[in-house]
């Protein structure tokens, strides 16, 4: 066990079902340290997206407990009372998320996409929200596109905007769900480069990705999921050279 100061995310025997019968997360136990970079991998349908969506309270779960930067998310039911609602709001302020499909608003300029949350959620006045948004756009090397609309940008640029947007609420944790899977191959690297830069800046990152070169060079730890279970976790060097479980061995064999 890590001591509490080190731990920023802790799943305690989390179980989740979709509907009554589909047991999508099974007894998940996972602890992530502040500043750690974790890559989650595993076959399609193994529960990776569901797992990380629990971290920003996009998905409820039915059993167990999840601690996110000191805030406790309880099993469904407890989340419906006032304290549960407050916990969800607190967690969303601490966690930024980047999706496969960017999820930018097409009718808003890049700048307005970035200032929406800070202005309406955090109550920041427009000039401050815009100054901050520009700073985040600079961080992903795209400030010159601030006044364009998302569809005037390439996929790689749109995803960098989405990353800047996630950074605008100054999150403690950044979640990525296959951020390069929807991109044309020639645009993957610019997004991975930005993610690698962020990884060097101390923010806690949990990233679902099949980009194994990125995982090898950036992750502190690889978590392998299969059929709703967390099957294996290891440092990248160990995971890639000698995976322990047969399921991880099969998964890696298919990637080559
Ligand atoms: P992964 O990200 O590893 O591909 P997901 O977490 O998206 O896996 O999904 C895990 C399983 O749960 C899949 O079998 C998927 O079809 C199912 N699933 C995902 N979302 C829902 C939902 N909203 N309702 C019912 N089943 C779902
Ligand atoms: Mg997924």
DSSP character string of 14-82? EEEEETTTEEEEEEEEEEEETT-EEEEE-STTSSHHHHHHHHTTSS--SEEEEEETTEEEE-TTGGGSH
pTM: 0.95
According to the model, what pLDDT value does residue 157 have?
A: 98
Ligand 1 proximity of 45 Cβ (cutoff 6 Å):
yes
According to the model, what pLDDT value does residue 255 have?
A: 83
Ligand 1 proximity of 209 Cβ (cutoff 6 Å):
no
**CA nearest 54: which of 228, 202, 244, 235?**
228
Mean pLDDT (whole number) for 209-230: 97
According to the model, what pLDDT value does residue 133 have?
A: 97
Q: Is 197 helix (H, G, I), strand (E, B) or coil?
A: helix
Mean pLDDT (whole number) for 23-48: 98
Q: What is the pLDDT of residues 172-192, one digit of tens each?
A: 999 999 999 999 999 999 999
With 90 as the cut, is the pLDDT of residue 3 above it?
no
Return d(Cα 122, Cα 90) in angstroms, integer.
11
Mean pLDDT (whole number) for 209-217: 95
Share of the chain above pLDDT 70, in %: 96
Ligand 1 proximity of 18 Cβ (cutoff 6 Å):
yes
Mean pLDDT (whole number) for 37-47: 97
Ligand 1 centroid – CA 32 distance (Å): 23
pLDDT-derived band at 75 (thresholds 50, 70, 90) equals confident
According to the model, what pLDDT value does residue 4 have?
A: 53
Ligand 1 proximity of 48 Cβ (cutoff 6 Å):
yes
With 80 as the cut, is the pLDDT of residue 1 above it?
no
According to the model, what pLDDT value does residue 82 have?
A: 77
Report which secondary-structure segment, H or E, holds 206: strand 204-208
Mean pLDDT (whole number) for 162-174: 95
Q: Are 159 and 102 in contact (CB under 8 A)?
A: yes
């Amino acid at each position: 066990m890590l001591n509490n100061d080190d731990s920023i995310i802790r799943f305690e025997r989390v179980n989740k079902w979709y509907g009554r019968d589909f047991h999508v997360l099974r007894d998940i136990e996972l602890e992530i340290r502040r500043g750690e970079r974790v890559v989650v991998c595993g076959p399609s349908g193994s529960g990776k997206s569901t797992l990380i969506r629990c971290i920003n309270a996009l998905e409820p779960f039915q059993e167990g407990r999840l601690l996110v930067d000191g805030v406790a998310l309880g099993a469904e039911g407890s989340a419906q009372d006032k304290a549960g609602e407050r916990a969800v709001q607190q967690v969303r302020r601490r966690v930024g998320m980047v999706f496969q499909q960017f999820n930018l608003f097409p009718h808003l300029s890049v700048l307005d996409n970035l200032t929406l949350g800070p202005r309406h959620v955090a109550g920041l006045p427009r000039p401050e929200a815009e100054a901050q948004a520009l700073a985040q756009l600079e961080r992903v090397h795209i400030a010159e596109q601030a006044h364009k609309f998302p569809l005037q940008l390439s996929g790689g640029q749109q995803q960098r905007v989405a990353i800047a947007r996630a950074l605008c609420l100054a999150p403690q944790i950044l979640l990525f769900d296959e951020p390069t899977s929807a991109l044309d191959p020639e645009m993957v690297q610019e997004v991975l480069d930005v993610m690698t830069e962020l990884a060097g800046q101390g923010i806690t990152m949990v990233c679902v990705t099949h980009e194994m070169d990125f995982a090898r060079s950036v992750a502190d730890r690889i978590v392998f999921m299969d059929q709703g279970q967390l099957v294996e976790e290891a440092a990248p060097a160990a995971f890639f050279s000698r995976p322990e479980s047969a399921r991880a061995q099969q998964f890696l064999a298919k990637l080559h």
